[in-house]
Amino acid sequence: MKKKVLIISGGISKERLISLDTGLQVSKELKKNGYVVKISEPDNNLSKSIEQFKPKVIFNALHGQFGEDGFIQTILERFKIPYTHSGVIPSSIAMDKEISKKIFIKNKINTPKFFTYSYDKKNSELIKKIQKKLSFPVIVKPLNEGSSVNVYICNKKNIIKTLNLIKNYKKVMIEEFIGGREIQVAIMGNKKLGAIELKPKRKFYDYKAKYSAKAKTKHIIPVDLETNELKQVMEMALKAHKLIGCKGITRSDFKFFKGKFYLLEINTQPGMTKLSLVPEIAAHKGISFIELIEWILNEASKKK
């Protein structure tokens, strides 16, 4: 009998449904291949589930807040059971877009210009500040959400209205809008796994473009880049992965515009759904879904 795996999925973030789907897909694949699997929510019963089931490894299938920001990782540390993906500090750094971008800038990884903004009813100086520091259009996004949740492209006319929509966030990021191509790069341990290009039918690769088949986002693999360009973007992704101290699999999101790559963010727990990019990149490299999952589980068991 193969080892017991506890999958934690669901949660309370805005990415709950994606997490449930990831957990379900991983569970199906593991069961098909002889593993004993239990799925658990990260609720008050989690400790009991872990203690009763006694898993050899925990697959963290959570996405978003409390799942990939160091919170659940802090809880899992006390059980002394290997868990997948990055640990407490790398998870919290990667999830905080402001801190991670400052690390990118300090280490000469190209990223869009930005500043952070705390909600203010007056907003009197905001438009002047944007015109001085960035110029319209701009991207407005929360500091600690994933899957492009509440990310908007804003112009001078609609930015105040947009900020009012998301005023529940204490602080948001206002970022330079970069046009061009959407390139995603997967890192597997310390290995450059591969890249994929996305051509969304929507304005940009937002939540619906990522998770709705109806959005008809085109996935292009292999990516049509010059050899030196592909090498450059892969090196940037690996550098970011190592700088933040990530483990296991990460996926970095880039824009490619006028010959330059811009790193938008690094994702420490990429989705494992039927529309997810990392399994697609892995498959292109000859790595099946079960091989990918087993690698992630084995990598978790190597953590000190």
Can you give the pLDDT at residue 200?
80
253 among known catalytic residues: yes
What pLDDT score was predicted for residue 110? 97
Q: Is 271 labeled as catalytic in the residue annotation?
A: yes
Neighbouring C-alpha atoms within 13 Å toward the C-beta of 212: 10
Give the phi and the psi of residue 227 in degrees, each rounded to 5: -55, -45
Whole-number pLDDT of residue 209? 46
Which two structure tokens, joined as six digits, stand for 208? 């619906």
Find the catalytic residue in 9, 10, 11, 15.
15
Residue 78: active-site member:
no
Distance CA 206, CA 19 (A): 17
Q: Residue 158 has what pLDDT?
A: 86
Q: Around Cβ 105, how many Cβ atoms within 10 Å? A: 13
Let me know: does 142 contact 220? Beta carbons within 8 Å: no
Angle, alpha carbons 66-70-71 (nearest 5°): 45
Averaged pLDDT for residues 31-49 = 95
Give catalytic status of residue 197 as yes or no.
Answer: no
Q: Which of 19, 86, 147, 150 is catalytic?
A: 147
Mean pLDDT of the chain: 90
Helix 16-32 vs helix 289-301: angle between axes, to the nearest 10 degrees? 100
| Choice among 41, 175, 197, 253 that is catalytic | 253
Of the residues 35, 267, 276, 299, which is catalytic? 267
Share of the chain above pLDDT 90, in %: 69
pTM of the model as a whole: 0.88
Mean pLDDT of 260-282: 93
Q: Place 27 in a pLDDT band, splitting at 50, 70 and 90.
A: very high
Q: Which domains does the chain have, with CATH numbers?
A: 4-85 (3.40.50.20), 94-109+179-301 (3.30.470.20), 114-176 (3.30.1490.20)
Report cis status (omega within 30 of 0) of the bond before 222.
yes
Residue with tokens 């009813």: 121
226 given a catalytic annotation = no
Peptide bond before residue 270 is cis, with ω within 30 degrees of 0: no
pLDDT confidence of residue 2: 74
* pLDDT for 162 beyond 70: yes
Residue 159 near residue 126, CB atoms below 8 Å: yes
Give how far Cα 102 sits from Cα of 57, 149, 288, Å: 33, 21, 36
- Quote the pLDDT of residue 121: 61
Provide the pLDDT for residue 302. 80
pLDDT over threshold 80, residue 254 = yes
The phi, psi pair for 41, rounded to 5°, reads -80, 155
113 by Cβ neighbours in 10 Å (0-12 / 13-18 / 19+) ranks as: middle
pLDDT average, residue stretch 2-7:
92
pLDDT digit string, tens, across residues 203-251: 554 445 444 455 578 999 999 999 999 999 999 999 999 999 999 999 9
Among 60, 251, 276, 299, which one carries the catalytic annotation? 251
pLDDT in tens, 95-130: 999 999 999 999 999 999 999 988 766 666 888 889
Per-residue confidence (pLDDT) for residue 38, from 0 to 100: 97
- Tell me which of 27, 87, 271, 276 is the catalytic residue: 271
pLDDT in tens, 73-104: 999 999 999 999 999 999 999 999 999 999 99
